[in-house]
Structure 1
C-alpha cells in the first residue's frame, strides 16, 4: 500500500543561483508541512556546481534536500528533468508537490503530471489544509479571473504550480538542521531527445516592481495617458515604482513590465496606492502581499475601495496632482531645514 507523507517543493537552479521562487516555496511549504505535522523536502536538479547552493537550502527551512547533479542537467531539457523528478516522486511519495509557476516550472510540472498520470492545478495563489482528510485545497483565479476556485486533487502527490511573488521569502535560520541526500536516477531517465544548440538570454525587464517597497498604480479612472504619467512623478517623490492594470497597458499608457495581476506580476510592497482602479480580481490577485493598501476612487463601492486599509472617495485626477504638490512642499521644507 502506498504511503504518501510530507510536502515537497521543486528547487530551481537558474544556471547561476537558486531562483528566488524557491525561497518563496520554502516559506509556504514549511507552513503546510508544520500544519500537517510532517516534513518538508526540496527536490533539486542541476550541474555539479549547484551543490553548495542546494545544501544551503536546509538553513531556509528544509528538512531534507534531495539532489541530482549531472552535466546533462546543466541546461533545462524538458524530458530529462521530467523523468528524473518523476522517479524522485515515485521513491519519496510526498503528499504535496509544489512547483514554481516560472517558465521552467510551467514546462516541467505538466510533463511530470503526464508521466505519473496525476492531477495538476496551475497558478495557485493560496493553499489550505482540509483537516479531516489532509487534502490540499488549491486556490486560484478562474473563469476569466472573476472567481476564486477551490480545487482538490483526486490523485497523490497533490500537485500545483505557484505564482511567484504571492508568498513571503523564507528567512535563513543557521541553526536549522536537515539532511542532504543524493538521488541517483536511472540511466534511462538521463537520456534526452533534445539537443541545446544555442542559448540566448532573455532581455532584462525595463523595471522590476516586485522589489519595490512603495508602489503607486493607476487604472482607467485616471482618464488619460497624460494623467497616468504623473504617477512617475509621485513614485520618484516616494522612492517607489509605478504599477498598472491590464486595460491601461492595452491602451499603451505604460509597458507590460509594470502590469500587476494575473497577466502581470504579484507584488509585496509596504505601501500601495491605487488611483482610479476599480479592483477586478484580475488585478487584486497580484496584491496579496501588500502591507498597507490605499485606494482613491469616485466609487465607494469599487472592489479595491472595499479591500483597502485606507479608502479615499474622490476623483483620482484631482487628488493625484494635489498629493504631488503637497509632497514637493514637504520635501522642500525638509531641504531648507
Structure 2
C-alpha cells in the first residue's frame, strides 16, 4: 500500500455532530526503532509487545462549524483540566493528517483524554495517546464510508497514528506488532504496523512486564532530538543492519519459545539503544545509577536461579522487567524484595501483553 490508498473518497456526507471514545495501550519495543527519515518513516524496522493496563482513554466530541476554519478548532482537556501546552503537538498532528482526513477543518473538536498510569510516571504516553486520537478520528470516516472494512480501518488508524508519534502505529493492534519494511516479513511496511505474521509460541504470548519507575521527571534529551542525532551517527548503518538481523533471528525464537535467545536479543537491543545515545554527537545519557543497579540485580538473580527474567529499556531511565507467565510469582517476589528499593518513591507498574485498542461506548 502507498499513502494514496489512505486518501478519503470524494462525495462522503459527514455528520453534523457526534462522539467517539477509544482506549489504546502503550507498547514496549523488543527490537528498537531509533532514527527516522522525513514523514515519520523509521530508519529501521522494529517489533513490540502491546501492553494491556498502561493505556490512554480518549473521548472526541465533534460539532460542525458554520464556516470552515483557516486553522484547526479544538479544546484539549487532560485528566479533567485544560492542557494548553499539549495543543501545539495536536495542531502539528492535524496538519500532517489533513490530506487523509480533509474534514478536520469543518469541525470544532473537544478532546478529553486521560491515562491509566500517572502522567508523572515516566511512561511515554505519546504512543497510546496518538493511537487513541487517531482511532477516534477514524471513527468519523468509518461512519460514512460504508466500503471500509475492519482491516482497512485499523491499518489507516495505524498510518495516521504514526504521523503523530512513530511508535503509536504499534499501539493499534496486539499482541506482537511489527513496524518497518523488512524483506522477510510479509506485508511489512514503513507506513503502519502489522500483527506479527508468523507463529508465536504460547509462552511468548503470555509475557508480563513490570515497569520500574526509576525516574519520573522530564528526560534531559527528548526522543525527537535523539532520533535526529542518528542522521550523522558514526555507527548508524551497522545499527540498522543489526535490527534487521535480530528480526530474522526472532522468527525462530518466537516459534520455538527459546527464552535464552529471546533474552539475549531483548537485552542487547536495550543496551544498543542507549549505546547509540552515548556515542552520538552531542552524546547524552538517559540511564540513571539505579537503572544500572537494577540491571545487575537481574543478571545476578537469573544466573543464581535460572529464572528466565530479563530487562528492556525505553528512551529513559525506567526498566521494563519481562518474564513469562509461569514464573510470575517468583518474578514478582524478586522485584519486591530486590528491585523496588531502586524505584522513585517505591513506585512500579504491573502489566502484561494485551490485545490492542478497543472502542468504548459513548
TM-score range, shorter chain: under 0.3
The structure with higher relative contact order (CA 8 Å, sep 6+) is 2
Task: Say which structure is richer in helix.
Answer: 2
TM-score, normalised on structure 2? 0.26
TM-score, normalised on structure 1? 0.28
Larger radius of gyration, structure 1 or 2?
A: 1
